[in-house]
Structure 1
Amino acid sequence: MRVAARQGDTVDLICHRHYGRTAGVTEAVYAANPSLADIGPTLPIGTPVNLPDLTTQPAEAIRQLVNLWD
């Protein structure tokens, strides 16, 4: 998928908006767009960004429930 950067967009913000997370995704987007890092942290309006299809979800951290009165 290809998207265009909006005003004030960063790669992290685009990843969060499209994928719902940034962990492990931002690196994949930079790999799919090799020259994107040369632009700087804030992308100019209209900069095309290729978003790769990422089907694997990271394993959710399992939280242990702590009861104070056990």
Structure 2
Amino acid sequence: MANPVRTQQNDSVDALCWRHYGRTAGVTEAVLTANPGLADHGPVLPQGLVVNMPEAQASAPQRQMVNLWN
């Protein structure tokens, strides 16, 4: 099952993966596979685009996010 997310200004697939999964390793390819034609938008995705985020595989370790703005 995929969770849809909406892109923000200047988002890339990597930025979406980092924000949604907390990593890019092993999930960027899955997002591109789950969204045929997504790469046709180029490196910066249009704002407001709905992207399906498939469930992450447990094969790659997740990184802990650090928020420096609190």
TM-score under structure 2 length normalisation: 0.79
Which residue type is aligned with residue 51 of structure 1?
Answer: M
Deviations 1:14-70 (A, max 9, x none): 00001000011100000000110011110011011000011414158xxxxxxxxxx
Structure with greater proportional strand content? 2
Number of residue pairs matched? 60
Q: Which runs of 5+ in 2 are unaligned?
A: 63-70
2:9 match: secondary structure: coil
Structure 1: which amino acid aligns with 2:17? Answer: C
Instruction: Work out the CA distance in 1 between the residues paired with 2:6 and 2:30.
Output: 17
Secondary structure of the corresponding residue to residue 54 of structure 2: coil
What is the RMSD computed on CA atoms of the aligned residues?
Answer: 1.5
Which stretches of structure 1, 4 residues or longer, exceed 2 Å deviation after superposition?
none
Give the structure-1-normalised TM-score: 0.79
Aligned to 1:47: 49
Q: Give the number of the structure whose alpha-carbon radius of gyration is greater.
A: 1
In 2, distance between residues paired with 1:59 and 1:26?
14
| Corresponding position of 1:64 | none
